Chain A
Amino acid sequence: MSLHSQSSGRASAQAAGGPATVGLTLAKVGALVVLAALLAVPFLLYPVFLMKVLCFALFACAFNLLIGFGGLLSFGHAAFFGSAAYVTAHAVKEWGWSPELGVLLGTLAGAVLGLLFGMIAIRRQGIYFAMITLALSQMVYFLALQLPFTHGEDGIQAVPRGVLFGLFDLHNPLAMYYTVLGVFLIGFAIIWRTVHSPFGQVLKAIRENEARAISLGYRTDRYKLLAFVLSASLAGLAGGTKAIVFQLATLTDVTWQMSGEVVLMTLLGGMGTLTGPVIGAALVVTLENYLAATSLPVPVVIGCIFVACVLVFRRGIAGEIAARFGNQKQGS
């Protein structure tokens, strides 16, 4: 939440000089409080659950970068997430790479795949863009199903967590948690920086009116491609990290349902806000986790929440809060 207010503080700082310093200090304090909470929370809650939340939060943030700030609805983000998980798992398990290198290779795989997808998909807009990404990700799914190194339905199992930088044994749940937290914060910082850079401004301009952006002299295709690759790499970062946390990479990560889930998380939390996807991911993962033990069917409950979201608070949780408290700019 505070990171959101931090960004809004920054926005207001640019708008008006006077109250900016106060806003900034408040935002900084808020950010520090959240950071402290994130550091303390594994002592209260089950660390593996928290790591899952963080992995999906990063994944949703990566997706949000594309749709929320670039206006591009990709329906194939599971391909980057899942492929990175497979590549990381394979590198760490079969080649004996260290976890940090494995995750980096996974991120690279996400980036390369994102470049390939992007080059094809950004030539079209709207529903056609979504359909192309969906079709391409289904191809990746069938590759994952049939290629020998992915082991079909079994997935790559028993991936060793290894020792980070040769120093921290990741079999310790807390060491693993702080590693995942670090990865998440790096990813989040990259997104924050991107959104608040001139590049991010151009992306927003393209989202609002692509024709006008072109007439201003921007090569919009290049901006869109770069945003796509960036989003895919970060999704890959999340996927690779998840493979290390859960010590396996399976077909679940590359199915189209996973692409749908990340759309759901982003919409529930608030598309186009920085903290929205984090809230959405936390909500969906928590529901899935705690409802799994009850007899309530998980998809039905989440479906009902989604319907309520669309009918009642269309901006998503974070977007709605921002709108209520008068920072309409954030929701846009």
Chain B
Amino acid sequence: MIARLLAGAALAALTIGVMSTGPAMAQQGKLSGDMVKIGVLNDRSGLYADLGGEGSAIAARMAAEEFGNKILGKPIEIITADHQNKPDIGSNLARQWIDQDGVDAIVDVPNSGVALAVQEVTKEKKKIFLMEGPATSRLTGDACSPTGFHWAYDTRALAVGTGQAIVKEGGDSWFFITADYAFGHQLEADTSAEVKKAGGKIVGSVKAPLNTADFSSFLLQAQASGAKIVGLANAGGDTITSIKQASEFGLTQSGQQKLAGLLIFLSDVHALGLQVAQDLVLTTGFYWDRDDETRAWSKKFFDRYGKMPTMVQAGSYSAVRHYLKAIEAAGTDDGPTVAAKMKEMPVNDMFAKNGTILPNGRMVHDMYLARVKKPSESKGAWDYYQILRTIPGKEAFATFEESGCKLPK
């Protein structure tokens, strides 16, 4: 009897639940929750904490402050969390933020593996996802989302910049040390394609787990391969460790082999020091000492954070600013509406000049090929790069047709 009653109650509860979730999902009013809530989700304690971390949150706050921390008369709130480089933690946090805390947009998310997981959540929930940290071009390719925006750089831009430049200098045989996850795989694939296109060849590759402390066996394989260029398809702490250990192993001193860091951030160069990092060729989406505007903004950032911004941090500022402008123009924070507005408007700020956003969410802007200065060339702290060439956005990034994204144009 009681069991039957309970079963009835459960069924009733289920029906009520099914019915009540329907209308709750519909958009009501102009701003959901009467505020715009932005969640900065990144690595705050691990190997990618330096390139994004708290710096990205500060950059996002700087963007909000330009609007007086208010939009359409309602407050802007910025919250942060640490995804610890684990896709499950990242997607859980994103889901909880959106379901429970009313977060309207998620920012940064370095680590392509985590970003791909979060992209699934934001796509399902129709919320804005502003990616500065992750690299893989799949985020605007087969894993694209109508509300996802890839801002600062991607693996293809890195490959076009660094890959081509090195082959032109005679580095025509490559061996890759690749971070064993989405980002590394894609960076290796994109760079291999560019190297082959430029007439070079790939000798081999080895996959190293994320956050490796000991690269010796991988470096020995690279040494044994006899390739002229050892391409480091990794990032952050892994790049720093591998470059340091390569120099300890005398990999580059022999003159036979050269290192090519495919993704190097300003924070990595700062950690390595110019003595070790000198003459590395790299591709970046932003350098603080490029013009008056970037210098002025970076100075403000430096005063708050004590470090010059990386392209991820500067990109976070630019993306959040553009997002807020789009909300202002659209008069709502409804994900798909704001996304459409963002794609209509050109991006013009200290980060990008006349940046355009493709239907797959790729923000197309100029990239820069840079060389790390020798200690003797550097005039002071943070004077690290010499810009060799500006890579026009159209050359650096894939077109919508090339990307493989299945969204309607």
Q: Which residues in A have some Cβ–Cβ distance to B below 8 Å?
A: 32, 35-36, 39-40, 42-43, 46, 48-49, 52, 145, 151-155, 157-158, 172-175, 178, 246-248, 250, 252-253, 292-293
Q: Cβ of A43: which chain B residues have Cβ within 8 Å of it?
A: 13, 17
**Contact: A145 with B21, CB < 8 Å?**
no
Tell me which of A46, A48, A154, A253 has the highest count of chain B C-beta atoms within 10 A of its own C-beta: A154
The 6 listed contacts between A and B (C-beta, < 8 Å) are A39-B13, A145-B180, A153-B87, A154-B182, A157-B91, A157-B117
CB distance from B400 to the nearest CB of A (A): 22
Docked complex Cα distance between A42 and B17 (Å)? 9
**Contact: B95 with A157, CB < 8 Å?**
no
Q: Cβ of A248: which chain B residues have Cβ within 8 Å of it?
A: 87-88, 91, 117
Q: Cβ of B207: which chain A residues have Cβ within 8 Å of it?
A: 152
**Contact: A154 with B81, CB < 8 Å?**
no
**B26 contacts the other chain (CB 8 A):** no
Q: Cβ of B17: which chain A residues have Cβ within 8 Å of it?
A: 42-43, 172-175
**Contact: B86 with A250, CB < 8 Å?**
yes
Docked complex Cα distance between A49 and B18 (Å)? 19
**B217 contacts the other chain (CB 8 A):** no
Closest to A173 in B: B21
Docked complex Cα distance between A172 and B209 (Å)? 36
User: Number of residues in B with C-beta < 8 Å to the partner?
Assistant: 34
**Contact: B91 with A46, CB < 8 Å?**
no
CB distance from A129 to the nearest CB of B (A): 29
**Contact: A145 with B96, CB < 8 Å?**
no
Q: Cβ of B209: which chain A residues have Cβ within 8 Å of it?
A: 145, 153
Q: Cβ of A35: which chain B residues have Cβ within 8 Å of it?
A: 6
**B329 contacts the other chain (CB 8 A):** no
Closest to B22 in A: A172
Q: Cβ of B99: which chain A residues have Cβ within 8 Å of it?
A: 46, 48, 173
Known: A145-B209, A157-B91, A247-B91. 4 other contacts (CB 8 A): A155-B117, A173-B21, A175-B18, A252-B89
Q: Cβ of A158: which chain B residues have Cβ within 8 Å of it?
A: 117, 120
Docked complex Cα distance between A35 and B93 (Å)? 29
**B72 contacts the other chain (CB 8 A):** no
**Contact: B92 with A36, CB < 8 Å?**
no
**Contact: A154 with B21, CB < 8 Å?**
no
6 residue pairs, one from A and one from B, having the closest CB atoms = A153-B181, A174-B17, A154-B113, A158-B120, A154-B182, A152-B180
**Contact: B14 with A36, CB < 8 Å?**
no
CB distance from A5 to the nearest CB of B (A): 17
Q: Cβ of B254: which chain A residues have Cβ within 8 Å of it?
A: none
Docked complex Cα distance between A178 and B18 (Å)? 12
Interface string of B1-36 (1 = CB under 8 A from A): 011001001100110011001000000000000000
Q: Cβ of A151: which chain B residues have Cβ within 8 Å of it?
A: 182
**Contact: B180 with A250, CB < 8 Å?**
no
Docked complex Cα distance between A48 and B98 (Å)? 12
Docked complex Cα distance between A155 and B113 (Å)? 8
Q: Cβ of A154: which chain B residues have Cβ within 8 Å of it?
A: 87, 112-113, 116-117, 181-182
**Contact: A153 with B116, CB < 8 Å?**
no
Interface string of B63-95 (1 = CB under 8 A from A): 000000000000000000110001111011101
CB distance from A167 to the nearest CB of B (A): 11
Closest to B10 in A: A39
**Contact: B182 with A153, CB < 8 Å?**
yes
Docked complex Cα distance between A48 and B81 (Å)? 18
Q: Cβ of B93: which chain A residues have Cβ within 8 Å of it?
A: 292
Partner of A155, one of B6, B10, B87: B87
Partner of B87, one of A42, A49, A157: A157
Tell me which of A46, A151, A157, A253 has the highest count of chain B C-beta atoms within 10 A of its own C-beta: A157
Docked complex Cα distance between A40 and B229 (Å)? 62
Docked complex Cα distance between A155 and B86 (Å)? 10
**Contact: A153 with B88, CB < 8 Å?**
no
CB distance from B150 to the nearest CB of A (A): 17
Tell me which of A43, A145, A158 has the highest count of chain B C-beta atoms within 10 A of its own C-beta: A158
Docked complex Cα distance between A99 and B210 (Å)? 31
**Contact: B14 with A175, CB < 8 Å?**
yes
Q: Cβ of B116: which chain A residues have Cβ within 8 Å of it?
A: 154, 157
Partner of A292, one of B18, B21, B81, B182: B81
Closest to A251 in B: B86
**B376 contacts the other chain (CB 8 A):** no
Closest to A169 in B: B18
Docked complex Cα distance between A323 and B92 (Å)? 38
**Contact: A153 with B14, CB < 8 Å?**
no
Partner of B86, one of A46, A49, A173, A252: A252
Partner of A246, one of B2, B10, B13, B91: B91
Q: Cβ of B181: which chain A residues have Cβ within 8 Å of it?
A: 152-154
Closest to A145 in B: B209
**Contact: A174 with B100, CB < 8 Å?**
no
CB distance from B18 to the nearest CB of A (A): 6
**Contact: A246 with B88, CB < 8 Å?**
yes
Docked complex Cα distance between A40 and B181 (Å)? 41
Docked complex Cα distance between A293 and B103 (Å)? 14
Closest to B179 in A: A153
**Contact: A174 with B91, CB < 8 Å?**
no
Q: Cβ of A253: which chain B residues have Cβ within 8 Å of it?
A: 88
Docked complex Cα distance between A100 and B332 (Å)? 40
Q: Cβ of B87: which chain A residues have Cβ within 8 Å of it?
A: 153-155, 157, 248, 250
Q: Cβ of A42: which chain B residues have Cβ within 8 Å of it?
A: 17
Partner of A153, one of B9, B21, B92, B180: B180
